[in-house]
Chain A
Amino acid sequence: SQQGEEDPQALSIQEGENATMNCSYKTSINNLQWYRQNSGRGLVHLILIRSNEREKHSGRLRVTLDTSKKSSSLLITASRAADTASYFCATARFGNEKLTFGTGTRLTIIP
């Protein structure tokens, strides 16, 4: 079953704008990961944030984690057409290696 839910389900923005996606989950976690999936293709790992971290950056990506609210956000700055994809958050629990994915946010960047 899906543990997480992404919000919004779909997002369309102009190229150059920032995109923010949110993820909520239900149980305590060891870490939370964000993945990108282009249409009909495999998932690409973007960033991993551990439960004792609050913020992490990677290039144009910024991820925050609030374990008290069981939520995370992914910010993509200065969006590009190539960022058009579905974005999923996935959680891993302590002592359990499987990932539990959310339902995804479909991001469209309008050139």
Chain B
Amino acid sequence: DTGVSQNPRHKITKRGQNVTFRCDPISEHNRLYWYRQTLGQGPEFLTYFQNEAQLEKSRLLSDRFSAERPKGSFSTLEIQRTEQGDSAMYLCASSLAARGTAEQYFGPGTRLTVT
């Protein structure tokens, strides 16, 4: 399978715990994006990387959130001290942007439930 993969697919955690999600993009893609989607809404941008550099972070990404993309390959999104409001689907996408903006290919998402 050469698509974007995300792990885990589902995560249930108690409030206050830390969680980490992983995204493996399409191998030749240099850009990687994280979005968050709550029920009945469209995805909202969180952050994106070009290779290993994090180029933009949304105001939605509070200090409890951190994302990394070491070596410009896979990426991790960590949420510290989870809150019930963090419950959402976390989507990862990747693209190959040689010139201009390209379409983004999305993974299946990680559904987080904070109890």
Asked whether any CB of chain B lies closer than 8 Å to the CB of A48, the reply is yes
Instruction: Kindly provide the distance from the CB of A101 to the nearest chain B CB, expressed in whole angstroms.
Output: 3
| Interface contact A98-B56, CB-CB below 8 Å | yes
Interface size for A (C-beta < 8 A) is 26
Contact B97 A97 (CB under 8 A): yes
Rounded to whole angstroms, the CA-CA distance of A45 and B101 in the bound complex is 14
Instruction: Tally A-B pairs: CB < 8 A.
Output: 66
The residue on A at minimum CB distance from B45 is: A98
With A43-B91, A45-B105 known as contacts, the answer to whether A98 contacts B33 (CB < 8 A) is yes
Task: Pick from A1, A44, A97, A102: contact of B106, CB below 8 A.
Answer: A44
Could you tell me the distance in whole angstroms from the C-beta of B104 to the nearest C-beta in chain A? 6
A-side residues, CB < 8 A to B, are 1-2, 4, 30-31, 33, 35, 40-45, 48, 88, 90, 92, 96-104
15 contacts between A and B (CB under 8 A): A2-B42, A40-B89, A41-B108, A42-B106, A45-B103, A45-B104, A88-B42, A97-B50, A97-B56, A98-B33, A98-B56, A99-B33, A101-B35, A101-B43, A101-B44
Chain B residues with CB under 8 Å of chain A are 4, 31, 33, 35, 40-45, 48, 50, 55-56, 58, 89, 91, 93, 95, 97, 100-101, 103-109, 111
